[in-house]
Amino acid sequence: MGNTGHGETFLFWVGSIISILGALGLIFSKKIVHAALCLCTVMLCLAFFYMAQGAVFLGVVQIVVYTGAVMMLFLFVLMLIGIESQDSLVETIRGQRWLAVPFVLAFGFVLIGVYAHANLPEFVGTDAANAKGGGNVQSLALLLFSRYFWAFEVSSAVLITSATGAMVLTHRERTVPRKSQRESSIERFERWGKGEKVSLTGLPNPGVYAQHNAVDTPALLPDGSPSEASVNATLRGRDTVRGFRPLPLPGARRNGAAVASRGDAGNEEVSQ
């Protein structure tokens, strides 16, 4: 069997360790965004492997299409629906998770055993095949537009169908007319009149400060405590509201020592 050069050996061992760690991170990380970043790492490592093996075009396509487009799509969908960060622990099929581990391990051993026992031929290398067309891209194009021409045409049909399908699936027809500001205000007052707890004036804006003015920064109430209602419920659910020290009140600063010595009682007095 032909051996690789020292550079590729180094690249392989570093990249394989990083990609296996990334794959483990994808499986076991609790937050989905971390899982997506781990998958990005694996894909980048694989792109380097493609380039090291003479598939330069595929390496670039891997970065552009997978790491660029596909992962961006994943992150976009996460932004839309990623409110629940936790996986449900309820098992529909009892013991499925614990059963899955030995089965998958057995599958992995079978797969590796097949490779270990296969009578793999000597590695030829892609240099001769790449040189035939005058480069990797040209040689791929020669094959793509001759032998694989029909597959190429069919894949374009697949892409168009999938784009149309995605639009049809996510399209939502508005069945009731959109409520105007006036109508929703009237509805709020009606619900308030029935004794429901609704805010008549609408919810307060997030805080605007010299250091932060993002939507995850809560506004301060007159007593200096952060207002829960000023931050989006999604951010509160994800627990990503920016924490900060409440600003000291002018009165509290003047007799700060007295407030500190009295502890909670002093704070309550201020808030009232």
Chain positions 108 to 137 lying near other proteins, rule: CB under 8 A, are: 108, 111-112, 115, 120-121, 123-126, 128-130
Binder of other proteins out of 96, 181, 211, 272 (CB under 8 A): 96
CA–CA–CA angle 41, 42, 48 (5° rounding): 90
What CA–CA distance (Å, rounded) separates 163 from 157? 10
Question: SS3 of 225, please?
Answer: coil
Told to check if 19 binds other proteins by CB under 8 A, we report yes
Q: Looking at residues 126 to 185 of the shown chain, list those that interact with other proteins (rule: CB under 8 A).
A: 126, 128-130, 139-140, 143-144, 147-148, 151, 155, 158-159, 161-163, 165-166, 169-170, 172
CA–CA–CA angle 34, 51, 1 (5° rounding): 115
Least distance to other proteins from the beta carbon of 261, Å? Answer: 50
Stretch of residues binding other proteins (CB under 8 A), selected from 89-97, 200-208, 231-239, 242-250: 89-97
**Nearer to other proteins (CB atom), residue 65 or residue 260:** 65
| DSSP string for residues in 111-136 | HHHHHHHS-PPPP--SHHHHHHHTSH
Q: Looking at residues 174 to 233 of the shown chain, list those that interact with other proteins (rule: CB under 8 A).
A: none
**Nearer to other proteins (CB atom), residue 123 or residue 192:** 123
Site size for other proteins (CB under 8 A): 86
Least distance to other proteins from the beta carbon of 232, Å? Answer: 17
**Nearer to other proteins (CB atom), residue 96 or residue 211:** 96
How many CB atoms within 10 Å of residue 46? Answer: 19
Q: Buried b / exposed e across 52-87, counting CB within 10 Å, b at 16+?
A: bbebbbbbeebbeebbeeebeebbeeeeeeeeeeee
Alpha-carbon dihedral angle through residues 218, 220, 221, 222, given to the nearest 10 degrees: -170
Stretch of residues binding other proteins (CB under 8 A), selected from 48-56, 185-193, 196-204, 222-230: 48-56
